[in-house]
Amino acid sequence: MGQARPKLRRLSPEQADRTRRLRNDATFPERLLWSRLRRGQLGGIKFRRQHALGPYVADFYCARAALVVELDGRSHDEQAAAHDETREAWMRSRGLRVVRFTNDAVLADLDAVVGAIAQAVGLET
C-alpha cells in the first residue's frame, strides 16, 4: 500500500465522456460487483468504477491499494487478450497491481470474487 500512485490529471472532454458512457452502459456483472464495492462496503476501502488511468479506463480502481480490478466478458478473443497485456504492462509499470475475473466468475460466485479482492487490498478474509 505504500506504492506511488499514478499522477492525477484532468480528463479531456472525450475521455470524460467515455468514462461516463462506460459507467452508464455497465454490464450486469459490473453492476453486481459494484454493488459490493461502492461506498466503502469492503472494509472501508474506496473503489472507483470506470476510472481513467492514463490512456486506459479501469473497470474498478482502488488508489489506496494501487489495485485495478478488471472483468472480462465472453468477447475476449486473441486481439482483446493482446490489448489486455499491453494495458496491464502499462499499469504495472506505474506500480499498479491488476487482478482479473471473468463475468462468469462474478455471476457464479460473487462472494468468492469479493473475497479475492478483499485479500488483494490487504484485508483479512
Q: Read off the pLDDT of residues 19-54 as tens digits, 9 standing for 90 and up.
A: 777 777 788 999 999 999 999 999 999 999 999 898
pLDDT-derived band at 77, boundaries 50, 70, 90: low
Cα–Cα distance, 36 to 56 (Å, whole number): 23
Cα–Cα distance, 60 to 50 (Å, whole number): 6
Closest Cα to residue 29, out of 117, 101, 124, 91? 101
pLDDT-derived band at 91, boundaries 50, 70, 90: very high
Cα–Cα distance, 33 to 71 (Å, whole number): 9
pTM: 0.82
pLDDT attached to residue 38:
95
Q: Residue 109 pLDDT > 90, yes or no?
A: yes
pLDDT attached to residue 4:
59
Domain residue ranges of the chain, discontinuous segments joined by +: 13-120
Q: Which CATH number is 13-120's, of 2.40.37.10, 3.30.70.370, 3.50.50.60, 3.40.960.10?
A: 3.40.960.10
